[in-house]
Structure 1
Amino acid sequence: MKKTRDYGTAWRILRPQSITDQIFIKAQRIRTLEEKKISKVGDDITGEYIGIVNYCVIAMMQLECGPEMSTELNPDHVSEMFDAKVNETKELMFAKNHDYGEAWRDMRISSLTDLILMKLLRVKQIEDNQGLTEASEGVKANYQDMLNYAVFALIKLNVHHSK
């Protein structure tokens, strides 16, 4: 919301495919940093995961708004949409955690990164197919999964850093 107040809703100009590519850039950078262990730019993995969370929410908002809605949105409306998408995704996370027994707690952070990258490749394929799928979930479900994987990674990074 701070960036919305600073920049307005400039992200509205992005096509969904461009948002997917922004998430891909962040996830690929995380993987590179995990493998090389050195950052020459200075930004850390935590910031990149936060970026993935925010871009996933932006992607879901963009899907809801569609291209016909105004580029500049009222910050209060953006805040309401943002909270709605986060809450919906959080409820999904709780349901899946119940069914999967919180398996993410025993996963490596690098596996969460790889799952995000896999979901991104799926979203790219769905986008390239103009949204048509035969048996799989749509792009929104994949954004929700990526958002939750990024949150799990952030939790694990915080736990790791606090030890």
Structure 2
Amino acid sequence: MKKTRDYGTAWRILRPQSITDQIFIKAQRIRTLEEKKVSKVGEDITGEYIGIVNYCVIAMMQLESTAETAMELAPDHVEHLFDERVNETKELMFAKNHDYGEAWRDMRISSLTDLILMKLLRVKQIEDNQGLTEASEGVKANYQDMLNYSVFALIKLGV
């Protein structure tokens, strides 16, 4: 919300594919830092996971936008949309945690990173197929999973 107040909703110009690529850049940077164990710019992976969370919410908001949706949205409206997407995704997380027995708690952070990268490759394929799928979940479900994997990583990092 602070960036929305600083920059407005400049992100509205991004096509969903561009948002997917932004998430990919962040996830790839996390993986690189996990493997090399050194950051030459002095930033750790925490900020990248937070960025993935925010870009996933932005992606979901963009998916629900239409040609009539204004480019510039009021910060209060963005906050409302953001909170709706987060709450919906949080409910999904609680349901999946119940069914999977909170398995993420025993996972390595690097595995969460890999799952995010796998989901990104799936989203890219769905986008390249103009959104058509035969048996898989759609793009939004993948964004929700990436958001939740990022939250799990942040929890494991002690954020």
For 1:113, the equivalent position in structure 2 comes to 113
| 1:22-65 deviation digits (Å, cap 9, x = unpaired) | 00000000000000000001121000000000000000001111
For 2:99, the equivalent position in structure 1 comes to 99
CA distance in 2, matches of 1:43, 1:51: 13
Q: Aligned-pair distance for 1:68?
A: 3.4
CA distance in 1, matches of 2:66, 2:88: 19
Query: Alignment identity in percent?
Result: 90
CA distance in 2, matches of 1:156, 1:66: 37
Question: Against the structure 1 CA distance between its residues 4 and 34, is the aligned structure 2 distance closer, same or farther, given a 3 Å change threshold?
Answer: same
For 1:82, the equivalent position in structure 2 comes to 82
Structure 2 SS opposite 1:66: coil
For 1:23, the equivalent position in structure 2 comes to 23
Alignment of 1:138 with 2:138, yes or no, is yes
Question: Against the structure 1 CA distance between its residues 101 and 22, is the aligned structure 2 distance closer, same or farther, given a 3 Å change threshold?
Answer: same
Q: Aligned-pair distance for 1:70?
A: 1.2
For 1:34, the equivalent position in structure 2 comes to 34
Amino acid at match of 2:74: N
| 1:88-115 deviation digits (Å, cap 9, x = unpaired) | 0000000000000000000000000000
Structure 1 SS opposite 2:158: helix
Select between 103-112 and 60-69 the one with higher mean Cα deviation.
Answer: 60-69
Matches within 5 A, 1:43-82: 43-82=43-82
Select between 150-159 and 84-93 the one with higher mean Cα deviation.
Answer: 150-159
Amino acid at match of 1:124: K
Runs of 4+ more than 4 Å apart: none
Superposition TM-score, scaled by structure 1 size: 0.96
Amino acid at match of 2:84: A
Q: Aligned-pair distance for 1:138?
A: 0.3
For 2:149, the equivalent position in structure 1 comes to 149
* RMSD of aligned alpha carbons: 0.8
Which runs of 5 or more residues in structure 1 are unaligned?
Answer: none
